[in-house]
Structure 1
Amino acid sequence: MDIVSTLPHWDMTVVYPSMESQEFARGYSSVVQDIDELAHLFDTRHIEGQMTAQLSGETIKTFEIIIERFNAVLEATSTLSTYIMCFITTNTHDSLAQAKMSELQKSLVTLKQLGTRLTAWIGSLDVDALIDRSTVAREHAYMLRKAKLRAAHLMTPAEEALASELNVSSGTAWSKLHSDVTSQLRVPVKVDGQIQELPMSVVRNMADEADRDVRRSAYEAELAGWKEAAVPLAAALNSIKGEVNVLARKRGWQSPLEASLFNSNIDRATLDAMLTAARESFPDFRRYLHAKARALGLSRLAWYDLFAPVGKSDKIWEYDEAARFIVEQFGTYSSRLSGFAARAFREQWIDAEPRAGKVDGAYCTPLRKDESRVFANYKPSYGGVSTLAHELGHGYHNLNLAHRTMLQQDTPMTLAETASIFCETIIREATLRKADKQEQIMILEASLQGSCQVVVDITSRFLFEQRVFEARQQRELSIDELNNVMLEAQRETYGDGLDESLLHPYMWAMKPHYYSTESSFYNYPYMFGLLFGLGLYAQYQQDPEKFKQGYDDLLSSTGLADAATLAAQFGIDIRSADFWRASLNIVRGDIDRFEELTR
């Protein structure tokens, strides 16, 4: 396998030579035209909600034409928008990419409105009869039945169109305000004995500094900064939650949570089972937090100690070595997984170099057919290797979805982490086997730190959002009230694992996930993803060959059934707390090892 020795940039020329090229201009115009023509087709075929549409031969023919065209337009639009976003995220100063994405928004709104019209039209059809009489319908059976249910939660076509247009100046605008305020916020903080005014993102990144005084100073500066910005952020949060409450009620949902569960392809019984197991694990996570405090020489952790480093590693993971290690370890699972990773490195699907203008973080996005692109800011550490493995797991999931239509690929966030957690776990276990004591402590701490965030902190975020939605039905909440709801949720979840006088009342101001009218409760799906992925890894360990026979099929089917149905293929009952307890037992084992190593 050929591996580059310097940090690579991804190759986008396989789609278009450049954004200045004639090929891009033609591709862009083609997508816009395709969306306009699709809208015309919807108009001429009267694709909109009706009382009841007669299921004639002509209606079936229309359905098949519409689904074929809708899938084709979705695919072309996805490739174009992903292409543009890849330029924006690697260079936020790319004015051409920013302009093109802004121009494309009008067409994207049109496409979203067409999706709503399609749902309403499907709601007027006899879906079961349609599935019996049409091959295309049978291939999209889950999507159709889901759309039928969703259609029952639509307002009138005129109201839905108005809500979509108004959202640009309401929910989306409030979300943009949050993004603008938080990204431009600068706060004074003491660094090396001098006061410096730094971006909030830089100050927050000081949470993993080894020096506790630096962490404390950053924490105090951060809280002061959020206090200064709290008025517009509280206004944004109150407005967004108020809008979501109104729309949920108008669409016939009992609550925003009911709508979120529907969109996540799970039910309340599944959520309750998972949260029950999570709450039962809190004493174990507090054991981890107490062990970490002892390792740091503290009686109890403060909030600003959560990300403090424990353990150490002198291992430098150069990029080419990391690539070889990932390919090799993926090969212990299957040649298909390792071959996929080798192809991603060889064909330059990965943009790994941190540089000015590039946004922070990591992600994987499908680009076209069976190709993905992986965005990373690679650091030559275990964390850098783990992140690459995680994102390549997403790419492997995309590979298994590639032969499905766009409507068949629609995967909820609950199932989107299935392959990424699995691949990350392969790398973690392989690294632990080769590590000395201090490296083991460091690796386990990194893993437990993440698990604590996804189980304990996510529960606190869920409780906060649930209570804010309930209170917002009556009136707006003041800044002090938002702070108190946040602190109450943190006390319930972290318990005596943290110093109660040093929590984080402004987490509501920082987390962008709260500031969306499109995706409420952008929290519990993370927990589902982690624990479902760990549960599958446990199944793999018990019977590797049997597991391999069904895993790729599971990944290819995440848009074809609800989570409970897919899990049942592996004999898993996600409505039982026992499954989630078994997943958390893997984490408990890590806590036991961490306690033993840090004594």
Structure 2
Amino acid sequence: MSTTTALPHWDMTVVYPGLDSSEFAQGLSQVLQHIDELASFFAEKQVQALPAAPVLDDAFVRDFEQVVARYNAMSDEVRTISVYISSFVNTNSQDDLAQAKYSELQRGLTLLAQQATRFTAWIGSLDVEALIERSQVARDHAFPLRKAYKQARHLMSPVEEELASELNVSSGSAWTKLHGNISSQLNVPLKIDGETKSYPMSAIRNMAFSEERDLRRLAYEAELAAWKSNAVPLAAALNSIKNEVNVISRRRQWESPLEASLFDSSIDRETLDAMLSAARASFPDWRRYLRTKARLLGLEKLAWYDLFAPVARESKVWEFAEASNFIIEQFGSYSQRLSDYAARAFRERWIDAEPRPGKRDGAYCASLRADESRILANFKPAFAGMSTLAHELGHGYHNLNMLKRTALQRRHPMTLAETASIFCETIIRHAALGQVEPSEQIAILEASLQGSCQVVVDITSRFLFEQNVFEKRQRRELSVDELNELMLDSQRQTYGAGLDEAMLHPYMWAVKGHYYNTGRSYYNYPYMFGLLFGLGLYARYQQQPEEFKQSYDDLLSSTGMASAAELAQRFGIDIRSESFWRSSLDITRQDIDLFEQLAAQR
């Protein structure tokens, strides 16, 4: 299945004409200068850990409000130029000019990160509750200020924090960059019909969606061989990153990297345990889905390379233009505002959809400036490709609803970042299922279950793997073979009898860039939270659509201004209760039941 029309590249010329333009050079120089000026301003106002809480007189309140205003403005300015440069790096990692400019910006980002730490330490020195009473600006930022006050209790000394941020450029961030460069530039030889060609890794992994099992198997074998040949530097990167996170977490007096991650995610361990327990209870249903898929494919049991195999030929080919029109129309069934937003994103070329060498795999959405976002995708002309677009547009709509919030108010955790994306994805799935014949329904339903299985089952395996790596890395480095075995063990625990244990993916630790991030550990369970929370909200929408609409946009707007538990309570949801997570998983269980019914009719 191939697209017959040219897929769009995003338009970044509305920001600067190009990386080699004088306008960009001036913009980058100005941003770096403004960061230097912010650092000087913070030093002047003594934004740092203080030996004693200052008197909150009128002069101090004015200084506080100026600090917050400058810090918010600087964050917005950096966001735009950082996303602009990244748009070139992520679509062509071999763009030397883009890599050089990002490295140049990195110096400023390091200095800004140091100011963020100083700001947190400063807030930790204040009587925050008294400040909230005295200042409207503080009241507007009550949640991030209270969170910063708690986080300050987990900071190292100012000198240690400054040193850690400076060294991160040549340690954690450098290892992250190495993984990104290796994985995006990896060309994989593959022999098909007697002819050997070289393919980018993203193209090889896309072959997992092929109707031809022999091609899926050949691509899987070639992929594993490619990861194996690059495993030594990637294992070095992973070992170094996990050790750095362990050391920094311990120095900051977190019980573990997981405890720090839960704090960042604005949830507690009780919530995580309730969700994971519900997920484990659902594994028999997911294995039932995998066994049904195997039968449809004429197999006794699925191999890893069968996970994404189509179970039915999609007679419907969703070309990009048709997919965009369908999304715009169906978003309108929820609200005109959502539909208009999607139409603008397509019209103004906010989306880079074409897969190509050097381009990052997968998809994401980044807030660029004001109400604009940019979406990276690797579009396939199938329902799954359209679903991904809807998902990422949901992120963009989330950004739109935070337009009037300041940078500090917009900082929402990953757990809540998937709220709108899952909601929008569900709108499209339900609409598509209602407009096609039963023979086509099974393909759409399977695409949805395929994704949900990844988020519930595979995400659990990734969580278990990362938990084990953090624990074992406290003692020593882990070899490639040990990392492979930990990954295989995690997959056995989760997929169980749903997959052929002789055909798993030992190098999934090398594939997933989520592991290679010092600033965001456990980049896995928040996706499950997002899926199940989003499904729970969609169920509330179906029950009381008009009442739901009155509150939903405000919920999205407030995701950086309250904890996940507080926001969920607005819709009568108790996220610490396993019953809520089970009720969300009941929705996927109903889909599995329907999938089995449709499969039995074939």
Fold-level similarity (TM above 0.5)? yes
Q: Determine whether 1:556 maps to 2:561.
A: no
**Aligned twin of 1:524:** 525
Paired with 2:358 and 2:490, the residues of 1 have a C-alpha distance of 36
SS of the residue aligned with 2:368? strand
Is the contact made by 1:312 and 1:441 (CA closer than 8 Å) also made in structure 2? no
**What are the equivalent positions in structure 2 for 1:223-234 lying under 5 Å apart?**
223-234=224-235
1:139 alignment counterpart: 140
C-alpha displacement of 1:328? 1.4
> How far apart, CA to CA, are the structure 1 residues paired with 2:77 and 2:231?
41
> Which residue of the partner structure matches residue 271 of structure 2?
270
Deviates more, 1:243-252 or 1:482-491: 482-491
Question: What are structure 1's unaligned runs of at least 5 residues?
Answer: none
The whole-number CA distance in structure 1 between the counterparts of 2:158 and 2:359 is 40
| Residues 347, 137 of structure 1: alpha-carbon distance in 2 compared, 3 angstrom cutoff | same
Alpha-carbon spacing, 1:92–1:468, altered in 2? closer, same or farther (3 Å)? closer
The alpha-carbon distance between structure 1 residues 308 and 7, as it changes in their structure 2 partners (threshold 3 A), is: closer
Please report how far the alpha carbon of residue 353 of structure 1 lies from its aligned counterpart in structure 2 after TM superposition.
4.1
Partner of 1:52 in structure 2? 52
After superposition, where does 1:164-563 map in structure 2 within 5 Å? 164-196=165-197, 198-354=199-355, 358-563=359-564
Q: What amino acid sits opposite 1:142 in the alignment?
A: F
Structure 1 match to 2:574: 573
User: Displacement, 1:56?
Assistant: 2.9
- CA distance in 1 between counterparts of 2:297 and 2:85 reads 45
1:316: how far off? 2.8
Which 10-residue stretch deviates more, 347-356 or 157-166?
A: 347-356
Correspondence list, 1:101-180, <5 A: 101-180=102-181
**CA deviation digits over 1:407-439, x for unaligned, max 9?**
100011111111111011101110011112232
Partner deviation per Cα, 1:329-387 (whole Å, 9 max, x = no partner) = 11111121112222223333333344565444332221211122223333332222212
TM-superposed deviation, 1:195: 4.6
Cα distance in 1 between the residues matched to 2:380 and 2:142: 44
Contact 2:185 2:358 in 1 (8 A): no
User: AA paired with 2:216?
Assistant: R
Give the distance between the partners of 2:82 and 2:264, measured in 1 at CA. 23
Q: CA deviation at 1:208?
A: 1.9
- Name which of structure 1's ranges 287-296 and 159-168 shifts more when overlaid on structure 2: 159-168
TM-score w.r.t. length of structure 2:
0.95
- Which SS does the other structure have where 2:275 is aligned? helix
1:33 is matched with 33
Does the Cα contact within 8 Å between 1:265 and 1:563 map onto a contact in 2?
yes
Which deviates more, 86-95 or 250-259? 86-95
CA 273–206 in structure 1, closer or farther in 2 if over 3 Å, else same: same
Over 3 Å counting, the alpha-carbon distance change for 1:332 and 1:202 in structure 2 is: closer
Aligned partners of 2:216 and 2:10: how far apart in 1?
35
**Residues 287-316 of structure 1, C-alpha deviations (whole Å, 9 max, x = no match):** 100000000001111111111111122223
Contact 2:185 2:357 in 1 (8 A): no
| Cα distance in structure 2, aligned partners of 1:322 and 1:188 | 32
Residues 482/423 of structure 1: CA separation in 2 closer, same or farther (3 Å cut) = same
Contact 1:143 1:407 in 2 (8 A): yes
Further displaced range: 55-64 or 262-271: 55-64
Given that 1:312 and 1:438 are in contact with CA atoms closer than 8 Å, whether structure 2 keeps it comes out as: no
Against the structure 1 CA distance between its residues 367 and 187, is the aligned structure 2 distance closer, same or farther, given a 3 Å change threshold? closer
Of stretches 47-56 and 582-591 in structure 1, the one that deviates more from structure 2 is: 47-56
Question: Cα–Cα, structure 1 residues 267 and 59, in superposed 2: closer, same or farther, change >3 Å?
Answer: same
SS in 1 for 2:90: helix
Whether the 8 Å contact between 1:155 and 1:251 is mirrored in structure 2 is: yes
The Cα RMSD (Å) is: 1.9
Residue 64 (str. 1) matches residue 65 (str. 2): yes
> 1:46: how far off?
1.4
The corresponding residue for 1:15 is: 15
Is the 2:184–2:360 contact (alpha carbons within 8 Å) kept by the matching residues of 1?
Answer: no
Give the Cα–Cα distance (whole angstroms) in 2 for the partners of residues 37 and 518 of structure 1. 25
Aligned with 1:367: secondary structure?
strand
Q: Which amino acid aligns with 1:564?
A: A
CA contact (8 A) 2:94 2:185 kept: no
Query: Partner amino acid for 1:44?
Result: E
Q: CA deviation at 1:133?
A: 0.6
8 A contact 1:87–1:97 mirrored in 2: yes
Letter of the structure 2 residue corresponding to residue 551 of structure 1: Y
The alpha carbon displacement at 1:238 in A equals: 2.0
Is contact 1:312-1:442 (8 Å) kept? Answer: yes
Q: What is the DSSP-based 3-state SS (H/G/I as helix, E as strand, rest coil) of the residue aligned with 1:227? A: helix
Q: Deviation of residue 160 (structure 1)?
A: 0.5
Over 3 Å counting, the alpha-carbon distance change for 1:217 and 1:450 in structure 2 is same
Q: Distance in 1 between matches of 2:341 and 2:20?
A: 31
Amino acid across the alignment from 1:29? S
Amino acid at match of 2:452: S
The alpha-carbon deviation at position 33 of structure 1 amounts to: 1.6
Q: SS of the residue aligned with 1:444? A: helix
Using the TM superposition, give the Cα deviation of residue 199 of structure 1 relative to its aligned residue in structure 2, in angstroms: 4.2
SS class of match (2:505): coil
CA distance in 1 between partners of 2:8 and 2:220 (Å): 35
Deviation at 1:235, TM superposition (A): 2.5
Displacement of 1:210 in angstroms is 1.8
State how far apart, in whole Å, the 1-side matches of 2:319 and 2:155 are. Answer: 52
The alignment partner of 1:598 has SS state of helix
Measure the CA separation in 2 of the matches of 1:177 and 1:392. Answer: 29
The alpha-carbon deviation at position 549 of structure 1 amounts to 1.1
Paired residue secondary structure (2:32): helix
Q: How many residues are aligned here?
A: 595
Alpha-carbon distance between aligned partners in 2 of 1:344 and 1:374, rounded to the nearest angstrom: 9
Q: Distance in 1 between matches of 2:372 and 2:576?
A: 34
Deviation (angstroms), 1:92: 4.2
- Which segments of 5 or more consecutive residues in structure 2 lack a partner in the other structure? none
Contact 1:372/1:395, CA 8 A, preserved across alignment: yes
d(CA) in 2 for partners of 1:529, 1:396: 15
Equivalent residues of 1:567, 1:573 under 8 A apart: yes
Deviation at 1:229, TM superposition (A): 2.8
Answer whether contact 1:414 1:529 (CA < 8 A) is retained.
yes
**In 2, Cα distance between equivalents of 1:233 and 1:19:** 30
- Counterparts of 2:285 and 2:305 in 1: how far apart (Å)? 20
What's the CA shift for 1:596? 0.9
> What's the CA shift for 1:113?
0.7
Q: Helix, strand or coil: the match of 2:299?
A: coil
**Per the alignment, do residues 175 and 90 of structure 1 end up closer, same or farther by CA in structure 2, a change over 3 Å counting?**
closer
Between 1:366-375 and 1:463-472, the stretch displaced more is 366-375
Distance 1:420 1:171 in 2: 29
- Pick closer, same or farther for the CA change 1:503–1:117 going to 2, 3 Å: same
Worse overlay, 454-463 or 309-318: 309-318
Amino acid at match of 1:37: E
Residues 576/379 of structure 1: CA separation in 2 closer, same or farther (3 Å cut): same
Take 2:189 and 2:359, find their aligned partners in 1: how far apart are those partners? 24
**Cα shift at 1:175:** 2.4
Matched letter for residue 47 of structure 2: I
The alpha-carbon distance between structure 1 residues 223 and 367, as it changes in their structure 2 partners (threshold 3 A), is: closer
